[in-house]
Amino acid sequence: MFCTITSGALLGISAYLVGVEVDIDRGLPAFSMVGLLGSEVRESKERVCVALKNAGLDIPPMRITVNLSPADRKKEGTAFDLPIAVGILNALGKVREGAIKDTLFLGELGLNGEIKKVRGVLPIVREAVKNGIKQCVIPKSNVSEGAVIPGITVRGVENIRELIAFFQEEKDQDNILPRILLETDDIFQKTEEEKTGDFEEIRGQENAKRAALIAAAGFHNLLLAGPPGVGKSMIAKRIPGILPRLTLEESLEVTTVASVAGLLKEGEALITKRPFQAPHHTISQAALIGGNAIPKPGVISLAHRGVLFLDELPEFQRNILDCMRQPIEEHQVHIARNGGTVTYPAHFMLVAAMNPCPCGYYPDKNKCRCTEVQVRKYMAHVSGPILDRMDLCVELQNVDIGRLQEQGKKESSRAKMLPASSEQLRKQVVFARKIQEERFGETDYHFNAEISAADMERFCCLGKAEKAFMEMLYHKLELGARAYHRILKVARTIADLEGCMEIREEHLLEAACYRPAQDYWKGI
C-alpha cells in the first residue's frame, strides 16, 4: 500500500513542504529510505521501528520504502521521524480514512515512543498556512511555538500511543489532542521588562550616554574606547533597555531565527524582548557568522533586531572581525555549502568596547608601559574598514571621585538635555523613531542608519551653509565617502531627537565629534 504524508524542512530561516512517501509491499523484508538524506534522517528507520514496537505495534516482515520529496534537496534533522511513522501506520491500515488529509506532521521519536522537541517549527507552520494546510500535529513541547500562527489548527502530541488513539477516534479528537489557541496580544501584555540595569546608575560619562541615546534612536553602530573600569560594559548592557519594544512582525522574525537554531524554551511562544548577544572573544568564525557542515544561524543572526556587544574588541581575531563587514552593510549573511546556499538575517546594532592598548592606559604615559610596537600590534586587530563602519566612537575617561560619591541626580551643563533614567531615554528614542517611521513610510528603510548613498540627498539634504561646513570638515578630518555619509546619517538622527526637520551646523558638528580622534588612534 502507498501513501503520502505532508511534512516540512528548513532552508535557511524559510521552509518548504516535504512529501513523505511510504510504500509497503510483499518481498524480502527491508527498510529503504531515499531522497538525498542526511545522516540523522537515515537513522530514522531504527528509531521509528523500535518506537512503534514499544508502542505495541508489530511491523510485519515486508518491504518498506520511504522517499522524501523533492529528492533533489538535502534533508537534515530528526523531524521526519513522526511523518515516517504515520506513513507506516497508514499503509498498515491503522489510520482511519481522511484523518491525515491536509495535515502536516513534525516530530522526533524516542525509542519508548515519546515525541520529542524539534527545531524550526515556526517557519514550517507559516509555510503550511501559505500552502493551504489546515492542521499541524507537532511535539507537545513545540505547541506554543506553532500556535502563534493564525489560520491553522495546531495540536501537540506527547507520544505515539496518543497519536494512534487520535487516528482511531473520530468524534472525541479534541479531548485526545486539544486544539491550542494563543493570542499574540496577550503574550505581549504579559511580557515583563528585562532587568538590564538603568542609565541613572551610571555616574558621569555624559558623552557616552549621549552617544548611546543617538545610537539607539537611529540604530547606529557604537564603539566605546577607554581604560579599564570606566563603565564601557555598563553602558553597553543598558542599551537594550532604551530601545523600543519589539513589534509583532519583529518578534516573529526574532522568534523564527531562534526556532531555526533550536533555542526556544519549552512553552515559549514568542520572543518579545530585544536580543542581546555578547560572545566571548575566543568565538570561532562559524559560531559568530553561522555555518558548520549543517548550517545554523550564528550569533550575529541571533542578535537580529537587537544588540550585538563585542567586549574587548581587539582580542577578537582580525579575520573573524573582517567577516562581519558584509553583514554590517547588507543586514544579512550568506552561507554557501556543497548542499546549497542559505541566507540568515543579521540586522543588528553593533556595540563594541575596547582598551587602547594591552595594559589599557594608552596614551597616558604615566600609567601605560606598552611599547609603540605593542600598541600598534594590539590596535591592528581592529582593521580600518571595521573602524570606518562604526557610526559613533566615544572615548571614555576615568570619572572624578566627586561624581561617584555625589547623591541625587545632578548633571553637568553639557548633559542637561539627557534624562537620568532608561525609561526617559526610551521616550526620546521612541519620539525619534516615530519621525523616522513617517519619513520612510513609502520606502524599505526603517532607521536613519539604513539610508543608502543613493538616497542621501533625499533624506539628508543640506542647506548652502551646511554644505560649506561639511566641505570644510571633509578636508579637515580627511574623510572618505563612507565616513562622510555616516556623519550625515548621525546628524540626521541628532536632528530627529530635537524634532528638527532640517540638519543644522550644530548637528553636523556633534556628529563629526563622534568620529575617531586621530591622536588617539595613531597606534593603528
pLDDT in tens, 416-467: 444 468 999 999 999 999 999 999 988 999 999 999 999 999 999 999 999 9
Residue 224 near residue 439, CB atoms below 8 Å: no
Whole-angstrom distance, CA of residue 200 vs CA of residue 400: 17
Q: What pTM was estimated for this model as a whole? A: 0.88
Residue-level pLDDT at 411 = 46
Residue-level pLDDT at 32 = 92
**Mean pLDDT of all residues in 318-324:** 92
Whole-angstrom distance, CA of residue 199 vs CA of residue 51: 55
* Architecture of the domain whose range is 199-513: 3-Layer(aba) Sandwich (3.40)
**Does 2-182 carry CATH code 3.30.230.10?**
yes
- Nine-digit cell at 203? 555616574
Using CB atoms within 10 A of its CB, is residue 342 exposed (0-12), middle (13-18) or buried (19+)? buried
Reported as a pLDDT band with limits 50, 70 and 90, residue 502 is very high
**DSSP string computed for 18-77:** EEEEEEEESSS-EEEEESSB-HHHHTHHHHHHHHHHHTT-PPPS-EEEEEEESTTS-B-S
**DSSP string computed for 146-201:** HHTSSSSEEEEE-BHHHHHHHHH-SS-HHHHS-B----HHHHHHTPPPP----GGG
- C-alpha 397 chain-centroid distance: 33
- Nine-digit cell at 423? 525609561
Whole-angstrom distance, CA of residue 392 vs CA of residue 210: 11
**Is residue 363 pLDDT above 80, yes or no?**
no
- Nine-digit cell at 359? 595594559
Residue-level pLDDT at 194 = 64
pLDDT in tens, 145-184: 999 998 999 999 999 999 988 888 767 777 788 888 887 7
Residue 406 near residue 203, CB atoms below 8 Å: yes
CA dihedral 118, 119, 121, 124 (to 10 degrees): -120
**Is residue 493 pLDDT above 60, yes or no?**
yes
Residue 137 near residue 177, CB atoms below 8 Å: yes
- Walk across the sheet containing 2-11 and list its strands: 30-34, 63-69, 14-25, 2-11, 103-105, 135-139, 153-157
Cα-flanking dihedrals φ and ψ of residue 334, to 5°?
-105, 130
User: Which residue(s) pair with 157 in the sheet?
Assistant: 139
pLDDT in tens, 371-427: 888 888 888 888 888 888 899 999 988 877 777 666 544 444 444 444 468 999 999
Whole-angstrom distance, CA of residue 13 vs CA of residue 451: 25
pLDDT in tens, 62-119: 899 999 999 988 898 899 999 999 999 998 888 887 888 899 999 999 999 999 999 9
Where are the chain's structural domains?
A: 2-182, 199-513
Residue 113 near residue 55, CB atoms below 8 Å: yes
Using CB atoms within 10 A of its CB, is residue 316 exposed (0-12), middle (13-18) or buried (19+)? buried
Residue-level pLDDT at 98 = 80
**Is residue 192 pLDDT above 70, yes or no?**
no
Alpha helices by DSSP H, listed for 324-455, are: 325-330, 372-379, 384-388, 401-405, 422-439
pLDDT in tens, 334-350: 988 776 788 999 999 99
